[in-house]
């Protein structure tokens, strides 16, 4: 009997790649998604890659009654991986209440249902933004979390505090929070990748859409940061490496290998690249110039974030395997394939 994993937001970018990794590692997957920033066609793409079409239940997890029903009528859930959240930094600055409402209500409803139906293994999709503007680099898990610069980031910090309180109050409940740095790239097949609705908020899809001609020019938000070229530095990680870390985290909980009831791990490569370095590397990899303009800073961005990867390597036995060129080439392959499909 395959172990059944519930994945909220499983049609999204990171969620869908994690679903693929779970299926390839012998798990049965049940997806909960409201499709507010994703598409049902992802299910066909997952089937093309894995041979299995996961079950999707379309549901708004902010609705406590509907959320409860999802758990009540779907039994034998071994663990929940919670991706479902809004994630655009700048949009959260403009619409903070929408972010607090969506990200925290959904989380709380899922956790309430898990306690009610005695599901005690939880993986939380978190973010390096919980470290705020770090005083010490690279960032280790021992870095203190700070008030993030954006409401989006703060929903992740508050969410972790809620999860910590639950693990303290319920001796049977265990959780792992995976703090991502900057996921980019796509599945090697070119069948699955990042496809945001509307104008991208993340760098790589903005670059690939500009290169393919969907966008006229790429906006670089600020070149006056205290970095080597003035643009923000981030730790970019391949989405497949990230997906594989979720499988390892699930297995860790199911095999009762966690050392504390609530563990946190940074998921990155340990290398920081500036926005301009990403653009220049992209142009080199695809042998094509792309148009970009320098604009004002974007609200909520911090100058530098990159990870110390030692803890995840030691405790999870996980390290990112794919380099920047692979991240870029797979993202470009996905973009080209998708646009060809639309023609």
Residues designated catalytic: 152
Q: Name 229's Cβ contacts closer than 8 Å, sequence gap at least 6.
A: 223, 274, 276, 277
CA–CA gap between residue 298 and residue 21 (Å, rounded): 34
CA–CA gap between residue 182 and residue 163 (Å, rounded): 23
Between CA 149 and CA 139, with CA 241 as vertex, the angle to 5 degrees is 35
Helix, strand, coil shares, percent, the chain, to 5: 40, 20, 40
Tokens, residue 256: 């009762």
Output the CA–CA distances (angstroms, integers) from residue 11 to 14, 43, 133, 196, 205, in the order listed. 8, 7, 31, 11, 17
User: How many other CB atoms are there within 10 angstroms of residue 285's CB atom?
Assistant: 16
| CA proximity to 243, closest of 28, 72, 47, 19 | 19
CA–CA gap between residue 270 and residue 120 (Å, rounded): 31
Query: What per-residue string of b and e applies to 138-160 under the rule 16 or more CB within 10 Å gives b?
Result: bbebebebeebbbbbbbbbbbbb
Q: Within 13 Å and on the Cβ side, how many CA atoms surround 263?
A: 20
User: How many other CB atoms are there within 10 angstroms of residue 203's CB atom?
Assistant: 20
Contact 64, 107 (CB under 8 A): no
């Amino acid at each position: 009997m395959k172990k059944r994993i519930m994945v909220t937001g499983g049609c999204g970018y990171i969620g869908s790649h994690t679903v693929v990794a779970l299926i390839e590692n012998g798990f049965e997957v049940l997806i909960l998604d409201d499709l507010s920033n994703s598409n049902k066609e992802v299910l066909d793409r997952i089937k093309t890659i894995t041979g299995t079409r996961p079950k999707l239940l379309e549901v708004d997890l902010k609705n406590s009654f509907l959320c409860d029903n999802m758990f009540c009528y779907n039994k034998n859930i071994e663990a929940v991986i919670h991706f479902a959240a809004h994630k655009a930094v700048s949009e959260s600055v403009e619409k903070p209440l929408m972010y607090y409402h969506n990200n925290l209500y959904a989380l709380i409803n899922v956790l309430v249902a898990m306690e009610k139906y005695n599901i005690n293994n939880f993986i939380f999709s978190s973010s390096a933004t919980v470290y705020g503007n770090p005083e010490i680099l690279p960032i280790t898990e021992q870095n203190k979390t700070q008030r993030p610069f954006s409401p989006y980031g703060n929903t992740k910090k508050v969410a972790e505090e809620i999860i910590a309180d639950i693990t303290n109050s319920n001796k049977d409940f265990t959780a792992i929070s995976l703090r991502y740095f900057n996921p980019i790239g796509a599945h090697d097949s070119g069948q699955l990748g990042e496809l945001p609705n509307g104008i991208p908020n993340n760098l790589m899809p903005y670059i690939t859409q500009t290169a393919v001609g969907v966008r006229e020019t790429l906006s670089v938000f600020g070149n006056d940061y205290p970095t080597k070229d003035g643009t923000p530095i981030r730790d970019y990680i391949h989405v497949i490496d990230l997906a594989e870390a979720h499988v390892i985290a699930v297995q860790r909980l199911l095999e009762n290998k966690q050392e504390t009831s609530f563990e946190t791990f940074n998921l990155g490569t340990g290398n920081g690249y500036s926005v301009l370095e990403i653009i220049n590397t992209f142009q080199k990899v695809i042998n094509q110039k792309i148009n970009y303009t320098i604009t004002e800073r974007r609200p909520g961005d911090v100058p530098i974030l990159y990870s110390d990867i030692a803890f995840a390597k030691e405790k999870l036995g996980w390290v990112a395997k794919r380099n920047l060129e692979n991240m870029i080439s797979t993202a470009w392959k996905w973009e080209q394939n998708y646009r060809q499909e639309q023609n």
